[in-house]
Amino acid sequence: MFNECAEQALHAMRGHQGLVFFLDLDRFKLWNDSLGHAAGDALLREIADRLGSCTRPEDVVGRLSSDEFAVLMPHCAPDQMRFLAQRMLDAIAEPFSINGVMTTPNACVGVCTYPEDGTDIETLLRHADQAMYAAKGQGSQRWERYRPEMGKISQERADMERELRTTLAAGGLQLHYQPQICSSGAQRLYGVEALARWQHPEWGWVPPPRFIAVAEDSGLIHTLTSWLIDAACTQLATWRAQGVPMPHVSINLSTNNFHLPDFAMQVQQTLLRHGLNGQDLMLEITESVMLDSSPATLNNLQTLHAMGMRLSMDDFGTGYSSLSYLHRLPISELKLDKSFVQDVTVSSAASALTRSVLNIATSLGMTVVAEGVETQEQADWLARHGCPVLQGYRFAKPMPATDIGPWVQQHAERHAAAPLSHPND
């Protein structure tokens, strides 16, 4: 019905300009899964009403599928798109309550122009959709205008999704591991962080942020995470069978992983299958997990903690209001982002913030791991100010599993190895 009405409107506005908006709600699946389909339907009706309040009687508004909406505004010039897109975003972002649960809906919007970007509704929707994905790539509550080069980007993303799906099915990803070192005494090994790597036969090494973003958008992140956890547990069990003294492995998780109701049980089953226990994994989460108040996420976090698995807050201090959420979750480790570390010896602001994080962590009984340590000067400053664990190129780059055993032995020989322990032991 939207397409039919839109085509009629386009036919009637020959010789005039118009705008097409493509809107996609953020985290709608989470709302739907955690509170039920009735709540999801209520939210969709509310969004439709809010879009109606932003439009005129002659505009065409429709829900295309799931959480996607489209708006055709005849007789609107391109210089109006900024105001109109922002008005829609602001209207959608008004707080909404159902069943006693308050949420703030967010969306991303793509915009294209008629007739410049297309003369039929199918082309216009495709182009507005590509602009919407470009907006999503920048975060939440964003809008973007369509540009012709976005078509190429969209095709590249589709190609990457297809290739990643094939690679995951064939077991073609790899894990590299970066050591984490205790800053005091004999610089004992604290653990290693497992990092996914993808070497494509034509593209070469694909940057992790690119293929992980594609995995999250396409729903492949659950398959990727299951592989990552199993591969890391397999390797940890192998190292220990070989006599490599490995305290634990850190694994990065996506916010989307916690939306699966049985995610914690899946992790536990993998550990048991490899003869490991909860202390053998450090699960790195981002601040977006802290801000996610859905029952599924909170239940998974509490269950993982009850199983003995420790949680690490990755990229601490770079996102939202972390401090107000720290006390709510069972966090045992904070990872100090490399943006602080790289300036800690040259910027008074970076050094002051780093000292504050170290003081907060100490008072809360948390361990701090400083990422991106590249120079001895940085390592000395961090050690002097009580940062217990260091990670970065100053000590080792991420390396294949086969290189870890020899590296551990060489590192121990260099630093007169002592029995392994955690900084808080």
Tens of pLDDT, residues 319-366: 544 566 677 678 899 999 888 899 999 989 889 989 998 998 898 899
Residue 56, phi then psi, degrees to nearest 5: -105, 165
DSSP collapsed to 3 states, 213-280? HHHHHHCCHHHHHHHHHHHHHHHHHHHHHCCCCCCCEEEECCHHHHHCCCHHHHHHHHHHHCCCCHHH
Q: In angstroms, rounded to a whole number, what is the distance separating the alpha carbons of residues 244 and 107?
A: 48
- Among 110-119, 358-367, 414-423, which stretch is predicted with the lowest mean pLDDT? 414-423
Local structure of residue 65 (DSSP, 8 states): E
The pLDDT of 272-291, averaged and rounded, is 89
pLDDT of residue 325: 65
120 three-state secondary structure: coil
Residue 315 DSSP SS3: strand
* Angle of helix 295-306 versus helix 28-35 axis, rounded to 10: 80
pLDDT, residue 40, reads 86
Residue 292: is its pLDDT beyond 50? yes
Q: Which fold has domain 2-147?
A: Alpha-Beta Plaits (3.30.70)
Looking at mean pLDDT, say which of 35-39, 95-99, 280-284, 340-344 comes out highest.
280-284
pLDDT of residue 322: 52
In CATH terms, the superfamily for domain 160-414 is: EAL domain (3.20.20.450)
What pLDDT was estimated at residue 422?
Answer: 41
Integer angstrom CA distances of residue 157 from 108, 153, 211, 215: 18, 6, 9, 10
Q: What does the pLDDT read at residue 222?
A: 94
Could you write out the DSSP letters of every residue in 366-419?
Answer: -EEEE----SHHHHHHHHHTT--EE-STTT---EEHHHHHHHHHHHHHHTT---
**b (16+ CB within 10 A) / e for 335-368:** bbbbebbbbbeeeeebbebbeebbebbeeeebbb
- Full-model pTM: 0.72
Asked if residues 393 and 375 have their Cβ atoms less than 8 Å apart, the reply is: no
- What H or E segment, with its residue span, contains residue 326? helix 323-326
The DSSP symbol for 184 reads S
Question: What's residue 317's pLDDT?
Answer: 64
- What is the distance between the terminal CA atoms of the chain, rounded to a whole angstrom? 66
Mean pLDDT, residues 98-117 taken together? 87
d(CA 63, CA 75): 22
Write down the pLDDT at residue 286.
Answer: 82
Rounded distance between C-alpha atoms, residue 314 and residue 230, angstroms = 21
Average pLDDT, the chain: 89
- The two tokens of residue 245 are 């003294």
The dihedral built from the CA positions of residue 205, 206, 209 and 211, taken in this order, carries a sign that is negative
Residue 96 phi, psi dihedral angles, 5° rounding: -135, 135
Find all residues with CB under 8 Å of 250, minimum gap 6, and list them. Answer: 180, 191, 192, 193, 194, 281, 282, 283, 284, 312
Task: Give the whole-angstrom CA distance, residue 92 versus residue 47.
Answer: 6
Helices (H) and strands (E) in the chain, counts: 16, 17
Mean pLDDT of 237-250: 96
What is the average pLDDT across 276-299?
Answer: 85
Which part of the chain has CATH 3.30.70.270?
Answer: 2-147
Residue ranges, CATH 3.20.20.450, the chain: 160-414
Q: Which residues pair with 65 in a beta bridge?
A: 68
